[in-house]
Amino acid sequence: MKDVSNTSPQSRQQVIDTYFMEHRAKLIDIAAYLDRIDRGTGGEVSDFRDDFFRRALLILSDGETHRAKRILDLFSDHTDALPQSAEGMKGAAGAPAPEEGGAA
């Protein structure tokens, strides 16, 4: 992947100073979302979107760069097949369903 080091006009400290509060709030939003799932009724659930979401969280903390690109790649359909028509197809789910090559 492309080397993007030192491409920001800001220093690392300036980036933190500019964006910490905004992304602190977004991080807590994610934490609260996961808590909300835990508090939900109905017991354990298996959902391909949730599986992708939790795999994406691991990318956030793996220390490698291009996190946004890698998460978008993770959430992408990597199959080659083209259906003839969209008739009867559901709207985009945000992650590939198992029949589209997503995680089982």
Partner 1 sequence: MKYIDPHIHMVSRTTDDYQRMAQAGCIAITEPAFWAGFDRSSAQGFYDYFRQLTEYEPKRAAQFGIQHFTWLCINPKEADDPGFAREVVSLIPEFLDRGNVLGIGEIGLNKNTKNELIILEEQIALAETHNQLVLVHTPHLEDKLKGTRIIMDALSASNIDPGRCLIDHVEEHTVQEVLDRGFWAGMTLYPDTKVTPQRAADIIEMYGNERIWMNSAGDWGCSDPLAVPKARLEMKRRGHTSGTIDKVTLDNPQTFLSQSERFVIDDQ
Contact positions vs partner 1 (CB under 8 A): 2, 4, 7-10, 18-19, 66, 68-69, 72-73, 75-80, 82-87, 89, 92-96, 100, 102
E strand spans, the chain: none
Min CB(24)–partner 1 separation in Å: 15
AA identity, residue 104: A
Q: 51 vs 77, which CB is nearer to partner 1?
A: 77
- DSSP reduced 3-state for 47: coil
Q: Residue 85 has what DSSP assignment? A: -
Min CB(43)–partner 1 separation in Å: 27
Q: 45 vs 68, which CB is nearer to partner 1?
A: 68
Q: Residue 91 has what DSSP assignment? A: P
Give the tokens for residue 40.
């939900």
Q: 23 vs 35, which CB is nearer to partner 1?
A: 23
* Phi then psi dihedrals of residue 17, to 5 deg: -60, -35
Question: Rounded to an integer, what is the distance from CA 72 to the centroid of its chain?
Answer: 6
Min CB(10)–partner 1 separation in Å: 6
Q: 4 vs 31, which CB is nearer to partner 1?
A: 4
